[in-house]
Chain A
Amino acid sequence: GAGVSQSPSNKVTEKGKDVELRCDPISGHTALYWYRQSLGQGLEFLIYFQGNSAPDKSGLPSDRFSAERTGGSVSTLTIQRTQQEDSAVYLCASSLSPQRTHTGELFFGEGSRLTVL
């Protein structure tokens, strides 16, 4: 596609429910990142996928959070038993691997705003 696509754009859920957030990266981008941004805060790294390698999960805040990337393309971030502190904007980004000819900058989607009541 033309850009990184995320869905849903807005999600309101009740505490304790599970949610799934989807990211469709730019075609051909091998790297995919998930970040979380709480109101007025910076981007908190969650997880990073690179090609077919095992993901870097070092930023996931608890075992309620998981993510997968199928076929090296679409990714789903799942939050189980949501808590109010999970309320934030979840941003997905994709990139090419950095090489001499390009920087490998991250291209961001518009984000999924999650509100847990």
Chain B
Amino acid sequence: GQNIDQPTEMTATEGAIVQINCTYQTSGFNGLFWYQQHAGEAPTFLSYNVLDGLEEKGRFSSFLSRSKGYSYLLLKELQMKDSASYLCAVRDYKGGYQKVTFGIGTKLQVIP
């Protein structure tokens, strides 16, 4: 199975940059996702990494190192609306199944 670790809470200032780390252990790695979840809402897809390196999408970037079992989500030019939980999820391929397991999520609070 998977073991996914990420910080439970972070606080950052509006306009700043914040990095949310995620480490994982899996035997059949087949992709890593980052999702955003506002309170009381469903998670929405932010980014995907399957190869090593950086993927950039506007103010959001995600990095992956498969050899280290490590990813981070980088949020630039923080806005108040970025206050949400950020979920790291790993897809594991085993025996024809593509199970996706989520970490506990990092609750980010953006302050003025």
Contact = CB atoms under 8 A, between A and B. Distances in A.
Interface in B28-64: 30-31, 33, 35, 41-45, 48, 50
Interface residues of B, number: 24
A33 B104 contact: no
Interface in A27-62: 31, 33, 35, 41-43, 45, 48, 50, 53, 56, 58
Contacts of A106: 33, 35, 43, 45, 89, 100
Q: Closest 4 interchain pairs by CB?
A: A42-B104, A108-B42, A43-B102, A103-B48
A106 B31 CA distance: 12
Given A48-B97, A106-B43, A111-B42, 7 more contacts: A33-B100, A43-B102, A53-B96, A53-B97, A98-B50, A103-B33, A104-B91
Contact of B102 (A35, A107, A111): A35
A14 interface: no
The interface centre, meaning the residue of A42, A48, A103, A107 with most chain B CB atoms within 10 A of its CB, is: A42
Interface in A44-95: 45, 48, 50, 53, 56, 58, 91
Nearest to A103: B48
B48 to A, nearest CB: 4
B96 A50 contact: yes
Contacts of A91: 42-43
B29 to A, nearest CB: 12
Contact of A50 (B42, B98, B103, B104): B98
Nearest to B49: A103
27 contacts: A33-B100, A35-B102, A42-B87, A42-B103, A45-B99, A45-B100, A45-B102, A48-B97, A48-B98, A48-B99, A48-B100, A56-B99, A91-B42, A98-B91, A103-B31, A104-B31, A104-B91, A105-B45, A106-B33, A106-B45, A106-B89, A106-B100, A108-B43, A108-B44, A110-B41, A110-B42, A111-B42
